[in-house]
Every structure is written in structure tokens, then in C-alpha cells.
Structure 1
Amino acid sequence: MRKKKKQIEPKASDQTEQFDPILPKAQVSPGRGLSSEQAAQRMEYGYGNKPVEPPSKTERQIVFSNVFTFFNLIFVVLAACLVIVGSFKDMLFLLIAIANTLIGIIQQIRSKRTIDKLTLLASPHANVVRDGNVFTIATDQLVRDDVVIFAAGNQICADAVVMTGEVQVNEALITGESDAILKKPGDALLSGSFVVSGKCHAQLERVGAESYAAKLTLEAKSNIKTRQSKMMASLDKLIRVIGITLIPLGLIMFCKQFFFLHLGLEHSMVSTVAALIGMIPEGLYLLTSVALAVSVIRLAYNKTLVHEMSCIETLARVDVLCVDKTGTITEPEMKVNDLILLDPKAYSKEQVTQVLDAFYTHMDLDNDTAKAMKAYFSAPSNWQATKTVPFTSATKWSAVVFPQQGTFVVGAPEFILKDQYESIREQVEPHSAQGDRVLLLAAYQGELADGKLNGPITPIALVLISNKIREEAPETFRFFAEQDVQIKVISGDNPLTVSQVAQKAGIAGADRYIDATLLKTQEDIETAVEQYTVFGRVTPDQKRKFVEALKTAGHTVAMTGDGVNDVLALKDADCGIAMASGSDAACQAAQLVLLDSNFSSMPKIVMEGRRVINNIERAASLFLVKNIFSFLLSVISIFASFPYPVVPLQLSLISALTIGVPAFFLALEPNKSLVQGSFMGNVLRKACPGGLTNLFIILGVELFAFAYGYSTETLSTIACICISFVGLLVLFQVCKPFDWKRTLIWVAMTAGMVVCITVFGGFFSLIPLTFQEFLVLIVFLLLSYPTMRAVLWGFEKVEFAVHWSIKKWKSLRSRSFA
């Protein structure tokens, strides 16, 4: 049996870790770590690094959340009301609700299982020392007291203390402080932070729910709602409004028909239930959830892991895509092309090669540039080093101190030489103009403190490094240009180099470039992001500011990245997209992870987002036509002396053939249009004309029925056919532009409606009409299309007037400020 961890109450004044006396802190050496027995014992006692929440809902939670919904409760209550009056035939809506619920459960469970498989593939791993050996295991298999090796790109998976080595960590994701912090032996590492540079052995002190990041997560869960997309937030708001109005409106309608119109208990109950069913968008929330779940599965087939469901809608709205040069435009692997001596008399080629061989013998290979340099300068060296300063994206150089030979620095020429850069500019820029990355090797005299070079620097040589442009890059960027998605290339490289590579890749406007070191203020950044396409010499904090500036300008921003320098920007972007081959920190910060690290997948991903959101908007407009009509007619019928004209069974027929079935198929259709405007605004703009057309036609039918003394059965028959006809007209508008699939959908629904009315009319409480009644029906059917066109014309005029008024007001306001 699993033993529970003994809880010990810490003293208020004691901020140190309280260890269980049964398993006191293990005293281990960095090179030995825990034994297998010690690790197993800690896992058994509950000291494993288990996450505070599962990566997705359990299947039981999915079933529970789909079955026990507010609208399902309303349906059960309404069904019970029909049972009381013996109107069993009108309970067809309950079967439809059950079918909808089952479909939702099945699709969401499929989506969950797919996500879980991909999450397992993309789950973070760590290098742990046990029994004197280094193993790579999933982070949730770590235990307290484990010795873990952290290097550049790793996310700190549990609170730990540095034992040996030094690392620079960024704690921005948990503390908001974006500056890198140097951690030496004895210093604490907070879970949730990530390693920028360096390498260390650290012993885990607080794991699982006890870690700093886990406590923040639990606190956030108790105080902050889960981040929702605009679409789901709009639907939640709609459901709350409907929920608030449904019950009092139903009670008032029943009382009015039963006590004032004296229609009898059965008729009053059936009419009230029909009105309430008409106001419930019973399949809308379900359709949205299912469409998103199916979208997750489709993305999974394209080797894309979705961390946040809300990012699917964001993808549909993306109009700016920020990319890095290395790993996105080019292949991640780099190659040294040439070595150029700056002072051959002082340093020969053999001497320079010897320096670089020694340099990369001692330097950690924590980035692609270092790996390329090591592959080229690979000869073993016996030079002794006393200090190494790893490369960071903020400083853009690395250094090694050799007590006998001196201190040498390798990195970006502008950042190493600063004001002295002009002395070698003419030798650097021709190579940058060819698209090569240019590194400077320099001798340094002085102390290496606080990441600054304050002493004399002597340039020695230039190293030229190239990346091969991805074969699929030009086609990918051409696709985004056709889809009106702007590309912004944000890189730490020389802007001229990046510009040349971007132009070769076919990025529009790549000749407009700027050095980010020239952007000193936020205003400079906000101006530059609109004017330029390529940004070079960008620091990680600047990447974040670029994303924020683009968002402030009204853009929906997607950001791709794979390194620790991209983490902050990935987190702040509307949709962060990481390459699985990149750093752990980047993968954990992003909403989407490309498991095959293939940028050419991006068009499919963006198109999937557009497809699902456009089709949900299209389908939602079908649902709300019925809801708008039913709500307005119910409110009017409270104050007018006529009953609600249709029965629940007829509404079930109308909902199935003009809303439910076509909406399901339309939600799976391709759709490449950029999503603009608010979700609910777009839906209401499409749904209101149909809803108001229904209202005007049915009010006319009610007046005729009242004037000529038609029976409630005749009124119900004419109203049902008219509403069905208007529903098919709305479906016709929604299916535009027609292709063979949409044509088939509309023809099939129309044929189905004709068969149900003519062949099975008796089952749906439709009665044969007299010749006079049939003529009245024909008149109102002929009026339906002109009425819809008139309503659409009115909406267009009102919309134009509103836009004109807003534009005029803004113009007057700007003049008054001026």
C-alpha cells in the first residue's frame, strides 16, 4: 500500500525546508547521487515530482462535464413537464439532447487520448545522477534529494540547490524579473525558472506540490479562471444570459396562457415548453466543443501538440508571425565556412586555430553555434582554463580565461568591440551581406565581471558560419504572403546577415531591416515594428517588447521559437509555437509544439485554426436564428393575446434539418478566410436577419389567424412550414459560396423537410389545410425572401451609419486634442 507523506507544520518564522524525519535529507555527492533503493523509497513515501494537476481532464471528468450541464437539467425538467400532461410525442428533443451528449463525450475522449499520447512523447526529461551514472528520465520520475544536471535550455523542474558549477537562470516566468541571475554553489534554484547558460549539478529539495512553481499554480487555480478563447468566453456569456432569462420567462408565459388565455393545462404546458426549447441553443456549445476536439486530433495527425485549446481560435486570427532565422528560415545545423585573420603577423592561422581548439575544449556546447565551432576546431588541447563565461543572448559573447595564454572572447563583433567596431566594419559587412554569420575572436585584458568587457580588446580573427536555407521555406513564406499574414524576422544575428537570408527565403519586405541596438525606447520599438520586417541583434527582453508592441498596435501575434532566448516572447505572444527539438523551457512556455520541428507545418496549422473557427461561426449563426426568433416572439406573446404558435415536436424537426445536421457537416468544411471581428458580433450579424424575418412572418401569420379565427392546429401548421422555409433560406445564405458538398447538404435538408411535412405531417402535429389556408401559406412563403432581403438591407444601412458615426467621432476627438 502507498504510504502517505507525513505532514509537518512549519514554524511561521522558519522559511527553510521541513524534511520528514522518517526520510531525512540525503547527504550525497554530486558525482554519485542517490542509490536506486533510495530513489524508490522516496517515490514510495510520496516524495516524487508529480505534477499538481494532470495534463488533461480524466475520462470520468469529461463524461461528468457533458452530462451534468445546465441545459441538460432544463431539458429533463421540461421533459418531466410533458410527462405530467401526457404529451410524450413532444419529447423528441430529449433524444436529440442525449445523442448530442454522447457525440460530445466520444469526441472529447478521443481528443484526450490523442493529447495524452503526444504529451507523453513531448514530456520534459532531465539528466539525473543515480548510483554514480547519469540517466535521462521524465521529470515526474524524479524524487526529492535527486542530483540533477541542469544546462542551458533546461527548465528547472523542482526547487533545488546548486552543488557544483554555475548557471545563469531567468526567473521571469515566475517572478516577472527578466534579467538573468547567476547561481553559484549553495544558491537556490526555483522551479519554473530556466537556465540561460552554464551547467551545474543541483540537489532537489522541494518536489511536486511542495515546489515553488506548483504552489503558484495552485494559488492561481483558486483565484484565476482558466484562460479562455474569445469564442468560448462569448458562448459562456450567452449561456449565462439565456439561463437567467429562461426560468422567469417560462413561468410568465405559462401563467399567461393558462390563467388569462384559458388554453388548458396541456396546451399551455406544451406551448411554454416549445418556447423555452426554441430559446436554448442546445447544440451550439456542444458543436463548438466537438469542433475544437476534432481540431486537436487533426493537429495531432500533423505532429502538433496543443497545450491550450484557446490557441486554436488565436491561430485563426493571426495576422503577424514572428520567426527566428536559425531553425525556422534555415536548418538548425551550422557549418564553419572560413577563418579570416585580422592581424596575420601577430596571430598566424596555426596560432588562431590552436586558440579556438583550446577555447571549445573547455566551453560547454549549449547552442548550435558552439557545436559548429567545436566540430571545426576539434583538436584536443592541453591548455588549462581557470574560468569560462558561457554565451548568452543578452551579451552575445562567451569567454575563457587561460592563465598562461591569456583571456579570449568569441561572439558578435559589435557587442565585443562596441565603439571600436568601426575599425573592422569594412571587413565584416561584406560577409554579412552574403548571409554569413560572422564571429569575432579577440584577446581581452581585464577582469570578466558582471558580463561586461571593460578592458582593452585586440581583434584577432573572423569566423564565418553559414546555415542552409530550408528547402520548403520559400513556399511556406509565399503561402503566408498570400494569406495576408505579415512575417517579422527577429534574430540575434547581424541585421544585414538576417536580411540577406530572409530575402533568399522569399520573405516580403526583407530588405527593410534595422539593428535593434538602435531602439532605445518603447516608442522606438512601436514605430519600428510597423516599418521594418527584419530585426537584428535583438536581446530576449527586446523580443518580448516587440511582441507586446505588435499586440498594442492591434495585431494578433504568433511567435515561433526553439531556444531559451525565445521563452519570454513565446509566453507573451497570442500564440506561442515551439519546436520540439529546441529547449525544454521553450516547449513548456508555448501553447503549440511542433513535434517534428518542421516549420513547413505552419500553413496547415494556421489553416486548421481558420477552418474550425470560421465554420463554428457559420454554424452558430444557424443556431441563433431560432433562439433570436423564439426569444422575441415569447416576449411579444406575453403582452399580446395569442399563443405560442408551434409545439416542441415541430421545433425538433426544424432544429434537426435547418440547424443541427447541416451545422455538423458545415463545421468540417475547409475555410481559409482570416477571422476578424468579435465572435459573437459576427454570429449575431449573420443570425439576426434570419431571426427577424421569422419574427415578422410569424407575427403576420398570427394576425391572419386571429382575424380569420383559425384554429391553433392550423396556426401551428402554417407557422411550422413558414419557419422551416425561412430556416432553409438562412441555410442557403450560410452555404454560400456553393460547392458540391454544400449543394448536397442544402438539397438533402430541403428534400428531408418536404418529405417530413408531406409524408409524416401527422406525426409532427401538422394538419391538412383548406384551400384558403393554403393560399395564406403561399403568400407568407413568397413574402419570406423579400422580407429577409429588406432586413439585410436595413442591417447594412445601420452598420454603415454606426461605422460612419464612430469614424466621425474619432476625427472630431483627434481635432479637439490637437
Structure 2
Amino acid sequence: MTERADTDTDANPGTDPEVDPEVDTEPEVDTATGTGTAPAAREPGLSSAEVARRVERGEVNDVPVRSSRSATEIVRANVLTRFNAIIGGLFLVILVVGPIQDGLFGFVIVANTAIGVFQELRAKRTLDNLAVIGEAKPTVRRDGRSTEISTSAIVLGDLIELGPGDKVVVDGRTAEADGLEVDESLLTGEADPVLKQVGDEVMSGSFVVAGGGAFTATKVGREAYAAQLADEASRFTLVDSELRNGISRILKWVTWMMAPTAVGLIISQFTVEDHDWREAVRRTVGGITPMVPEGLVLLTSVAFAIGVVRLGRRQCLVQELPAIEGLARVDVVCLDKTGTLTQGGMDLTALRMLDGAGEDRTRRVLAALGRSDPHPNASLQAIIDACPPELAEGWRGADTLPFSSARKYSGAALTEPDGTTARWLLGAPDVLLPEGHAALAEVDRLNDEGLRVLLLSRTEREVDDPDAAREVVPQALVVLEQRLRPDAADTLRYFAEQDVHAKVISGDNAVSVGAVAGKLGLPGAQRPVDARRLPAGRDEMARVLDEGSVFGRVTPQQKRDMVGALQSRGHNVAMTGDGVNDVLALKDADIGVSMGSGSEATRAVAQIVLLDDSFATLPSVVAEGRRVIGNITRVATLFLTKTVYSVLLALLVVFWQIPYPFLPRHLTLLSTLTIGVPAFFLALAPNKERARPNFVRRVMRYATPAGVVCGLAAFAAYLVARQHYVGGGALDAETSAATLTLFLMEVWVLAIVARPYTWWRIALVLAMVVGFLVVLAVPWLQRFFALKLVGEQVPWTAVGIAGAGGVVLEFCWAWVRRRDDARSAS
């Protein structure tokens, strides 16, 4: 007897459901289908009135779908930062001592923060809209009818139907079971599916791998395990990224360097400028402010946010932000043939009779098998389309065995109208037939043509007997043709051009998979590997995987093992798939990519969901990740060069006991022209360079020598100017000469970072130079920024020092690049 989770009286949430006495649970024969297992009557589920009462009592699965941080969290994360606090404090100091020109850096920080908040809120809107599109839609039975609803509309006691690939969205108890096998590996770590009987508990976060049934919701909302799972697994996040972790590490180093340097600078400036404390404060703030790489975190967030928006326009849901970065680092992409290289649906093209079987009866058997499975997969659906249920009028099915990717066949006991009963299996020929069987030669020939072949056979054993596939009597080969995705060939070609190795991993026959991959131009497709002959050891398996491109007859556990073997060789692995047999591999891969029409289970564990099922979207994701990583590496070099020379200048000033060379307004001007504005454009520019590891080490290898050279050149120009203008009290002239040198050095660094040149990159660098010249040429701007070049000797000396520094910069840059290239080659 099945049970129903509601009564006419109020019930406490989470209590055991009671039997409704009005429900007729006497067994009856399903006359609509003709199957004669005399199952219990179809449970009608809750009535509309009962649902309304549950909603009124608050017994609703009201856990909101969160694909991003809340608006409050976004504002807090962008405003309340350590460096914003430092810069804000310095800005308040300048407001006290004046003039306002020296507080321009404060307004820049406000503008930058506003841009960051706006871009992330924009990305949030995109993600929230996409999350609604990609949200699981469970089927519930209410008033005797099956209806798809949103997960948040489930109420306590709802009867939720399950089929292969469906995710269990709330906790419950099994009410109906027809060969129902549930994978609980995401909860327990155990990969073996669990056979569920009526009355067994099912937990949210698990998913169906075979069979079907229904369960009654016993825990909803925040009481269900799904609430915790959704909150942790599907939240849009900015953590666990090498890029962001690297930047955080750099910022910690900067904080530790700033503290002692700032103390020394404060003491030295108040000692040197003891006659003018306001000037001492301004010079101190001028020395501390540029140490903060204030725009680096902002630009990283902006670049990622814009990437999310761009991908969202292509119907690509990024469930975890680092996935953009991760896919850019991928060098091996494992593709499941079905749903990735081929699109949904197949066509039955031929029946090849074996051992004198009649085609007419065979079609009736296939029609009866199709009708006996309430949850047909793509192969069985193609058979149903060619052999409609009407052909099996009067046939009855019993003891149905759903298809499982692990055993690779399905079955049923069928009773014909004359009362004859036979047990039938439908599945992979090379699994059901012994090696060397004559029919396998025909199977191989058909597989060579890229066709999919199933075997229909009889067995004398019970269909659920583990040895049911032994000693079968073959009846017919069922030949199916798969539909190739029109964009698959171009996508594979793109990966080849980008030096990303594609591996096709499928549960189908290896030769057949190789034929399909060969049609799409995949290198190595002519040498497919049967996974049943793969070595068990991880090292040996990794060697075979490195050499091969196509692998067939792969079990779900093998897919997982293959991902691990590739990772053991240092590969960054992406796995694509749409079926439940892909879940384990998707979970273990560095990046999991699911098709939008795939099972709920695959969408739950994947970091990226292609909502329009377009495999051609993957190159866009790779390109977006490479753009983000490559460009952030560029702009990080600019920001950290400034930090290095600022710390060096502060130390030199403390050692020489002289006034700090710059006021805050000078460094704000230089930062805007050589870092802020150019970095914004460079961070959003196209970039196809493959992402490389060790972000922090690579950036610091460039920024450290560049910062040292810039700092020494500016300080040398300052000392020359002080010597030349000695006794004249021309502090503005000394500062102006040092500012000219530092600007030329920073523009040189910008010109190096902007390589390889395009017309717009050259225009960007020239525009920054023109901007500085305008400041020097316009009298009121000269006064505003306190810049005045006095005479000719010192300004030209400053230019000469910058030229010599540029030559040293080029040498350092070339030396570091050679070492980087040598490391990459090794």
C-alpha cells in the first residue's frame, strides 16, 4: 500500500505522513498500456485545497535560489576594504591641511568603487536571470495530474516524480519504486547506486541513475539538506581562484611593507620640514598613497563581472566565478559524445535479423519494450518512434529492468496475446555477446560507419539476474543513426588551434565513437581505445590517455578514474556531459561543463551550464577566461611597479633625510595617466594568450625590476635638480623635474606592457603622453598641479635620465621574458 502525506487536520511539519482513507489503493491493471503487473493505483498526490493549506502554514520549500552575492554584500565588499580605509584616512588628513588638489586621490577612489559596485550589480542581474532559466523543474503530482513546478513551490507532503537523471530536490520517503536506483555519492562519497524500495528515505542532493518512481516530501525549506547544499554549492563566488588568491597575497605583502616604511617617512618629513608641518603632512601623504595598489582588486572584479555578463548574453551560466579563469587554464577537455558531439535524438535506420528471427515479431517485441519503460532514454525513444506501442496490442510487460550505464542493457519479461512469456534484453552487442560471435563482425562494420548498434536478445534467466546476459539468444541488430551537432567540428578545430587536447570519452562502442569523431575531424579518431582494455594503474592509464583521443565502453567510474589519471600528469582537465553517467567525472574535473537540457544532477555539480546546449559556446568561455587572466596579469604589473618604486623612494628619502620628491597631486596625475586609465582599457581588451600558472611569481618578476629602475631614475633626477637649484628654494622646480622623469619611466613601462602593439594600444599610449603635455602647457593646469619646468638644463637632464632608465628597463624585461620562456619550455 502506498502512502499519502496529508490529512484533513493540521499536521506538524516533518511528521510521518498518514494514510488518507479516501484513497483507493487496490491493485488494478493498467488498461491504457496493456502492461499486466497489476500495480497499485496511481497515487493522485495532494489536492489544490491541501496545497493551499500547506502554503498558508508556511510549509513551503522557500529557499531562494542564490546565484550571486546580495546587493548589500556587493556594496560592503567593494566599499569596506582595508585599502579604502587607508586611502580614506589620508584623504581626510589632506582635507584638513589642504589644498584640495592634493586630495584628488580620494575622489578617484570613490569613482573606482562606484564603478566596481555598478559592474558587479550588473553581473548579479545577469546571473539571477540565468539561474531562473537553468533552475531544476521537478514534476509533482497534484489532483492526479503531473505538473512541472519550480523547486521553491514544493510543499510538505507533495508527491514528486522521479526518472533517470532527476535530482532529489528535497528530503522525502519513497512512495513508488520501479527499479529505482539512486546515486548518493555527492552525500556519502560512495559511488555505487542504491536500490530504493517503497518506504526508503531519499535525501536531497542525490539523483536517479536508473528506473523511476515517486517520493513524498517530508522536509522542505531550510529543514531539508538541499537548503544547505544549494547555499554552498550553487552560490556565485569570488573565492578559490589563483588570480584572486594571488592578488590577496600581494596585498598582504604590501601591507607589511607599508607599516614600517610609512613610520620612517613620517619621522623624516617632520624632521626635514620642521618649519612647515602642513608641507610635511602633504609630503608624507604623497609618499604613502602610491604604495597602495588601490585599483588592482577593483579591476579584477570588473573584468570578471564583465566576463560574466558577456557569457550570459551567450546563454552560458557561470555558477562559480573562478570557472571562467579555470577553463582558460585547461589543456585537456574530455567530451562525452552523446549530447556534446551529437545532438539529442536518434533515428532507427535498419533491423538486421539474426538466427532466422522474423522482422514483424521483432518490431512487436521492440514496441512492447518501449511501452514497458516509463522513462525511455534517447536510444529507446528512437525505437518507440519507429515501432509505436500500437504494434504491441495485447502484449503485457512485467519485471522491467531499466537501462543502466553500468550494465549497458535493459530488459523486461513480455507476455504475448497467446500467453507465451519470454524474457528480453536490449543493449550493447559486445556486452551481451561472447567474444568471437559471428554477429560482432557485422556490428564492427556498422560501427565503422559511425552507426550505433543495439542487440535484441532472449534470455532464460530473470532479467534482474546479474548473469542474465550470459547465454542469450540473439534476435536482431537494431541500427541507430546519431545526429551530429553542426557546430562540433568548428569547436574541435578551435581547441586544436589553442593547443587544448580533446578526448572523447563515451560509454558507446569505441569504433562507433571513433567514426563519429572522425567525421568531425578529431586527430587520432582513427585509433579508438576500448576502455575495458585500459590498464588499471593510474600511471599506465595516464600514458594511454595521453596517446589516445577516443575511448569507448567507458563506465562512469572509469570516467572518474580517467580524469584523475590526467590530473596526475599535471593536466588541467575540463569535463563536459549531460547524463547521470557523467556526474562523477564532472565533480572531480577541474572544470565541469553541463548542457542545459542535461540531467538535473549534472547541472547541479557543473561550474558552467550551457543553457542553449550549444557546444560552440565553449570557445567563448575559454577566450573570456584567457582575456581576464592575461589582461589582469598586464595591469597588475603596472600597479605593482608603482608600489615598488613608492616603497623604494620612501626608503631613499628616509636615508638621505630630504623632503619627499612629490606631492599627492603629482602622483595622482601620474597614476591616472600611466596606470588608471590605460589599465581600464587593457583589462577589457581581447587577449588569446594561454593562461600560465604562478601568477604572483610572474607578476613580481616583472614589477620588481621595473619599480626599482623607475624609483632610482626619479630619485636621481630629483637629486640632480636639488643640486642645480641649490639655495634657490625652487622646490616646485625640483619636484617638476622628478615628476617628468617618473612620468617618462612609467609611460615606458606602459608601452612595454601594452605589447604586442595594435593601433588602439599605440593611440592609448600617445593619448596619455598628450595629456601630460597639456598639463605642462596650460598655465592654470600648471598652477593646479604645481608643475613648472625651470630652465632647459635640468628638464633635458631629466629626459636623459629617463632615456637611460628605459634602456635598462628593456634589458631587464628581455632577461625576465627569456627566463619565463625557458621555464615554460621545460
How big is each residue's C-alpha offset from its partner over 1:149-181, in whole Å with a ceiling of 9 and x where there is no partner? 011111110111111123111111121111111
Change in Cα spacing, 1:532 to 1:802, as seen in structure 2 (3 Å) is closer
| 3-state DSSP of counterpart to 1:511 | coil
Question: Who is 2:26 aligned against?
Answer: none
Q: What displacement does 1:23 show?
A: 8.1
Q: What displacement does 1:214 show?
A: 3.2
Specify the code of the residue in structure 1 equivalent to 2:812: V
Question: Who is 1:657 aligned against?
Answer: 673
1:101-116 aligned within 5 A: 101-116=113-128
Would the aligned equivalents of 1:338 and 1:463 in 2 still touch at CA under 8 Å? yes
Question: Who is 2:89 aligned against?
Answer: 77
2:186 alignment partner, one of 163, 166, 173: 173
Q: What displacement does 1:253 show?
A: 1.8
1:20 equivalenced with 2:20 (yes/no): no
1:445-456 aligned within 5 A: 445-449=460-464, 451-453=466-468, 455-456=470-471
| 3-state DSSP of counterpart to 1:763 | helix
Give me the whole-angstrom Cα distance separating, in 1, the residues matched to 2:209 and 2:823: 51
Change in Cα spacing, 1:176 to 1:202, as seen in structure 2 (3 Å) is same
Give me the whole-angstrom Cα distance separating, in 1, the residues matched to 2:234 and 2:506: 35
Which piece of structure 1 moves more, 566-575 or 298-307? 566-575
2:521 alignment partner, one of 506, 511, 514: 506
Change in Cα spacing, 1:756 to 1:503, as seen in structure 2 (3 Å) is same
Question: Who is 2:541 aligned against?
Answer: 525
Give me the whole-angstrom Cα distance separating, in 2, the residues matched to 1:605 and 1:416: 41
How big is each residue's C-alpha offset from its partner over 1:164-204, in whole Å with a ceiling of 9 and x where there is no partner? 12311111112111111111111111110111111101101
Q: What displacement does 1:263 show?
A: 6.6
1:582-731 aligned within 5 A: 582-705=598-721, 707-708=723-724, 710=726, 711-731=730-750
1:773 alignment partner, one of 794, 801, 825: 794
Q: What displacement does 1:292 show?
A: 0.8
Would the aligned equivalents of 1:124 and 1:584 in 2 still touch at CA under 8 Å? yes
Question: Who is 1:364 aligned against?
Answer: 374
Q: TM-score, normalised by structure 2?
A: 0.90
Q: What displacement does 1:357 show?
A: 1.5
Q: What displacement does 1:783 show?
A: 1.5
1:261-300 aligned within 5 A: 262=274, 264-300=276-312
How big is each residue's C-alpha offset from its partner over 1:719-776, in whole Å with a ceiling of 9 and x where there is no partner? 2111111111111112222222212211111111111233222211223323332243
Question: Who is 2:346 aligned against?
Answer: 334
| 3-state DSSP of counterpart to 2:456 | strand
1:351 alignment partner, one of 344, 349, 361: 361
1:748 equivalenced with 2:764 (yes/no): no
Which piece of structure 1 moves more, 318-327 or 709-718? 709-718
Specify the code of the residue in structure 1 equivalent to 2:422: G
Question: Who is 2:176 aligned against?
Answer: 164
Specify the code of the residue in structure 2 equivalent to 1:584: E
Give me the whole-angstrom Cα distance separating, in 2, the residues matched to 1:733 and 1:472: 38
Give me the whole-angstrom Cα distance separating, in 1, the residues matched to 2:16 and 2:551: 53
Q: What displacement does 1:102 show?
A: 0.9
Q: What displacement does 1:218 show?
A: 6.7
Specify the code of the residue in structure 2 equivalent to 1:623: F
Would the aligned equivalents of 1:52 and 1:209 in 2 still touch at CA under 8 Å? no
Would the aligned equivalents of 2:455 and 2:475 in 1 still touch at CA under 8 Å? yes
Would the aligned equivalents of 1:578 and 1:590 in 2 still touch at CA under 8 Å? yes
Give me the whole-angstrom Cα distance separating, in 1, the residues matched to 2:317 and 2:44: 36
Specify the code of the residue in structure 1 equivalent to 2:690: L
2:199 alignment partner, one of 158, 167, 186: 186
Question: Who is 2:31 aligned against?
Answer: none
| Runs (5+) with no aligned partner, structure 2 | 1-9, 24-41
Would the aligned equivalents of 2:270 and 2:280 in 1 still touch at CA under 8 Å? yes
How big is each residue's C-alpha offset from its partner over 1:544-564, in whole Å with a ceiling of 9 and x where there is no partner? 121222222122222211111
Would the aligned equivalents of 1:443 and 1:458 in 2 still touch at CA under 8 Å? yes
Give me the whole-angstrom Cα distance separating, in 2, the residues matched to 1:617 and 1:387: 61
| 3-state DSSP of counterpart to 1:427 | helix
How big is each residue's C-alpha offset from its partner over 1:219-258, in whole Å with a ceiling of 9 and x where there is no partner? 9999xx9742110111122222323443443223202321
Identity %: 37
Specify the code of the residue in structure 1 equivalent to 2:483: K
Q: What displacement does 1:99 show?
A: 0.5
Would the aligned equivalents of 2:13 and 2:59 in 1 still touch at CA under 8 Å? no
Question: Who is 1:15 aligned against?
Answer: none
How big is each residue's C-alpha offset from its partner over 1:314-345, in whole Å with a ceiling of 9 and x where there is no partner? 1221221111212222222101111111101x
Change in Cα spacing, 1:334 to 1:459, as seen in structure 2 (3 Å) is same
Give me the whole-angstrom Cα distance separating, in 2, the residues matched to 1:756 and 1:27: 85
Question: Who is 2:265 aligned against?
Answer: 253
2:497 alignment partner, one of 479, 482, 491: 482
Change in Cα spacing, 1:606 to 1:740, as seen in structure 2 (3 Å) is same
Q: What displacement does 1:631 show?
A: 2.1
1:407 equivalenced with 2:418 (yes/no): no
Change in Cα spacing, 1:399 to 1:249, as seen in structure 2 (3 Å) is same
Which piece of structure 1 moves more, 617-626 or 654-663? 617-626
Give me the whole-angstrom Cα distance separating, in 1, the residues matched to 2:697 and 2:344: 43
Q: What displacement does 1:22 show?
A: 11
Which piece of structure 1 moves more, 706-715 or 242-251? 706-715
1:195 equivalenced with 2:195 (yes/no): no
Question: Who is 1:542 aligned against?
Answer: 558
Give me the whole-angstrom Cα distance separating, in 2, the residues matched to 1:270 and 1:613: 37
How big is each residue's C-alpha offset from its partner over 1:611-658, in whole Å with a ceiling of 9 and x where there is no partner? 222122222222111112112322343334333321111111111111
Give me the whole-angstrom Cα distance separating, in 1, the residues matched to 2:575 and 2:150: 27
Change in Cα spacing, 1:23 to 1:176, as seen in structure 2 (3 Å) is closer
Would the aligned equivalents of 2:183 and 2:206 in 1 still touch at CA under 8 Å? yes
- C-alpha root-mean-square deviation of aligned residues, in Å? 2.6
Give me the whole-angstrom Cα distance separating, in 2, the residues matched to 1:591 and 1:800: 32
Would the aligned equivalents of 1:253 and 1:272 in 2 still touch at CA under 8 Å? yes
Q: TM-score, normalised by structure 1?
A: 0.91
Give me the whole-angstrom Cα distance separating, in 2, the residues matched to 1:161 and 1:226: 37
Question: Who is 1:791 aligned against?
Answer: 812
Would the aligned equivalents of 2:69 and 2:124 in 1 still touch at CA under 8 Å? yes
| 3-state DSSP of counterpart to 2:165 | coil
Q: What displacement does 1:309 show?
A: 0.7
Question: Who is 1:56 aligned against?
Answer: 68
2:486 alignment partner, one of 448, 466, 471: 471
Give me the whole-angstrom Cα distance separating, in 2, the residues matched to 1:19 and 1:175: 31
Which piece of structure 1 moves more, 510-519 or 468-477? 468-477
Would the aligned equivalents of 2:720 and 2:794 in 1 still touch at CA under 8 Å? no
| Runs (5+) with no aligned partner, structure 1 | 1-17, 808-818
How big is each residue's C-alpha offset from its partner over 1:521-574, in whole Å with a ceiling of 9 and x where there is no partner? 133321221111000001111111212222221222222111111112122222
Question: Who is 2:35 aligned against?
Answer: none
Give me the whole-angstrom Cα distance separating, in 2, the residues matched to 1:397 and 1:739: 58
Would the aligned equivalents of 1:693 and 1:791 in 2 still touch at CA under 8 Å? no
How big is each residue's C-alpha offset from its partner over 1:549-606, in whole Å with a ceiling of 9 and x where there is no partner? 2222122222211111111212222221111111111112111111111112222222
Q: What displacement does 1:786 show?
A: 1.4
Specify the code of the residue in structure 2 equivalent to 1:535: F
Give me the whole-angstrom Cα distance separating, in 2, the residues matched to 1:24 and 1:516: 46
Would the aligned equivalents of 2:273 and 2:280 in 1 still touch at CA under 8 Å? no
Give me the whole-angstrom Cα distance separating, in 1, the residues matched to 2:301 and 2:721: 42
1:187-226 aligned within 5 A: 187-215=200-228
